Structure 1
Amino acid sequence: MNVAPSDPEVVAPNFKRRLSGVTSTIIQLVPEHARRLSVAAFGPGLPAHLPKLGARDLLRLARPPAGRPFRIWHARRNVEMLPGILLRDLLRWPLRLVFTSASQRRHTRYTRWLIGRMDAVIATSSRTGAYLTVPHTVVTHGIDQTRFRPPSEGRAERRKALGLDPALKAVGCFGRIRHQKGTDLFVDAMIRLLADHGGWQGVVAGRTTGEHEGFEHDLKVRIDAAGLATRIRFVGEHRDIERWYGALDLFVAPQRWEGFGLTPLEAMSCGVPVVAADVGVFADAVPPVAGRIVPPDDLDALTEAIRPFLHDDALLGQAGAAALETALRDFPLEREAREIEAVYERLWSGKSAASTGVRR
């Protein structure tokens, strides 16, 4: 376990216990920021290796850190913005508040009020920024490419180690099991395709919460009825999901809606080509040489975009190489961290709100 710095300059709150895209972002960014800053996470559901503050450590935030006029509280959810506001405005603690928005929809009045109280705002894409009514800085996500990388032992060997059929290539869909994530679109596309492509298997990885158990059950019934129960597998949620990317030859991101969406970037960093719906930043992140982009909620388009990769090994290899090249060039984690740190530095140096965000 890493020891939290005794005098953190930056606090990254995480108030959601279950793994999510936001939590994954925090898990990746905190160690990267720690190369250059004194930073600590705060909240439940975080791995032991992260530098973290406990509840008893919060009183440290009542005074400024050594060498800085204030600490930065970097929130990524509503539930994390509000405590920062209370600590800064009611208790008068020396904090400045940064919020990262990934949402691509009109914010509620309450969320707009919270965002308006921030000292700086970051949008994860220009599309996200279009929904903000305050000045902001666009910083796209990056990926920890020491963690997400092509498997050294080969994909067939990785499949064997994970209990998949090593003789069959694998196409995967990772994320929470629910309608919004398009899991049903992936399953239906696989049912259409795998009967004619005996050398492939489908892998669905992700958590199913109680309210979506019926949705998952219905998908498994459809798979059984198609006689594909041994070739379309639900493997559950895994914190070492990078190992599962290494078992894939193709990744599918069929979401009906997405704020940003890390999974295609993670797949590309593992050298896996991507077929994705045109949501989040997928169209900007996945060039034609690295995969295909299709309209959201269009099963026919999704199926036909996947089909060529299942019977053309040359296309698969070329797209995988292009995916890796794109990820290494455009989405390194260090680039994201340094651009965020530039926002912090502008706050610490007293730059105008127009260059960092705005507090209302």
Structure 2
Amino acid sequence: MSHKVMHICLSHGWGGLEMYPARIIPELTRQGDEVHGLALAGSRVAASLIDVGVTPVTVASKARALLAVPRLLGYLRTQRIGVLHCHKSSDLRLGALLVTLMPGLRLFFTDHMGVTRPKKDFYHRWVYGRVTTLFSISDATRQRNLAAFPLPAERIQRLYLGIDPAPYASCLTTPARQALRDILHIPSGAVAIGLPGRLTAGKGQTVWIEALKSLHTHLPNLAWHGVLIGGLHADEGSDEAYVAQLHKRVSALGLDARITFTGFRGDLPRVFEALDIVCVPSRNEAFGLTVIEAMAAAKPVIGAASGAIPELIDAETGRLAPPGDADAWATAMAELAADAALRERLGAAARKRVQQHFTLTAHVEALRRAYQA
């Protein structure tokens, strides 16, 4: 059964939440749905929807969205849209109002961030009372959702995120891989230890840098190079003051020549090919999309033993370390850096796990079943 769906994301930011609609729309379309979008005018979300073939309805601001309710209702009726899917909790106010004024609409919400406080007052009971299904992107997130939201358990569904593993398969020739490593300033023969993601405090770059210093101190003869992957500016989702702190700390530890700040890279699957180990020390990931991306690239991942990451990694596919313990991270790095065969074995198992459990095709199939139910 096909559905007519409008994805709503009224955000000027740019992170995993904002990228999600454009990531899944091609697969939704391939599986037979007709997809529409609502975004802020001039936002990267709006541009990303256009890039995947959806011309979004736009509003100037969230406040203007409420004023545009009559126009939006007219659009929904004309296009015969039956499903709304929100991705920011602040957008649910608009979604709930549209559902109230247009009986028959079904409202879905994905909690991409992981709720941090209870939402059971009168206003939130009204808003969430109109949500057909709330999607939790991990078991850890679902447990928090069950405690925080005024919804019965049967209306809170765990739905793991997924990716297309194909772009992450190795495709670089040996010379091309070496050329990319040269661009990233990785010395010949060095074990490349990468950390991809937004440069913000919650992503754990500080503990990663301290772990690399510990690695250098305890194994001075080990050849390694750190690669910090992520935009350096606010419009790329990063905290510029925090980026400056990272640069300062790297210099203070004498690691300027041992750590590359790549800036934003649009070729992350290829960058993964240049790495030997991937680290994801985020303190409280609601899911961990970067984890499964690195796994799909057949890379062993060291992940934080917190949030949802332990649901993705086990001893057969990578390693876990306490999120704030730099020495524990250094120990895990040292184990993998010293054993190329272990890295290859873990990486192969990691890619297989993604293919079995975390594909975009399976994610969208489950999403469409929820729309239909």
Q: Structure 2-normalised TM-score?
A: 0.81
Distance 1:342 1:161, change over 3 A: farther
- What is the aligned partner in structure 2 of residue 156 from structure 1? 177
Moved more, 157-166 or 139-148: 157-166
Q: Structure 1: give runs of 5+ residues left out of the alignment.
A: 1-6, 347-360
**Is 2:367 the counterpart of 1:340?**
yes
Corresponding residue SS for 1:288:
coil
Q: What is the aligned residue count?
A: 335
Distance 1:127 1:173, change over 3 A: same
Q: 1:1-360 residue pairs with structure 2 within 5 A?
A: 9-36=4-31, 37-43=33-39, 44-46=43-45, 47=48, 48-55=50-57, 58=72, 59-63=74-78, 65=80, 70-90=81-101, 92=102, 95-102=105-112, 103=114, 105-109=116-120, 113-131=126-144, 132=146, 133=149, 134=151, 135-154=155-174, 156-157=177-178, 159-160=180-181, 162-165=183-186, 167=188, 168-194=190-216, 196=220, 198-208=222-232, 212-346=239-373
Per the TM alignment, residue 344 of structure 1 is displaced from its structure 2 partner at its CA by 0.5
* C-alpha separation in 2, matches of 1:182 and 1:120: 32
**Deviation sequence 1:71-101 (CA, Å, 0-9, x none):** 21111211322221222224x2752110112
Distance 1:239 1:117, change over 3 A: farther
Corresponding residue SS for 1:235:
strand
Corresponding residue SS for 2:274:
coil
* Larger RCO: 1 or 2 (CA < 8 Å, sep 6+): 1
* C-alpha separation in 1, matches of 2:3 and 2:348: 40
Distance 1:197 1:85, change over 3 A: farther
* C-alpha separation in 2, matches of 1:214 and 1:159: 29
Distance 1:242 1:81, change over 3 A: farther
**Deviation sequence 1:111-147 (CA, Å, 0-9, x none):** 5653332122221122222222422221111112133
Q: Superposition RMSD on alpha carbons, in Å?
A: 2.6
* C-alpha separation in 2, matches of 1:249 and 1:76: 34
Corresponding residue SS for 1:207:
coil
* C-alpha separation in 2, matches of 1:78 and 1:285: 25
Q: Structure 2: give runs of 5+ residues left out of the alignment.
A: 59-70
Moved more, 286-295 or 233-242: 233-242
**Counterpart code for 2:159:** V
Q: Which has the higher helix share?
A: 2
* C-alpha separation in 2, matches of 1:122 and 1:80: 15
Corresponding residue SS for 2:161:
coil
Per the TM alignment, residue 294 of structure 1 is displaced from its structure 2 partner at its CA by 1.7
Residues 142 and 156 in structure 2, CA contact (< 8 A), matched pair in contact too: yes
**Counterpart code for 2:44:** G
Per the TM alignment, residue 188 of structure 1 is displaced from its structure 2 partner at its CA by 1.0
Aligned residues with identical type, % of pairs = 27
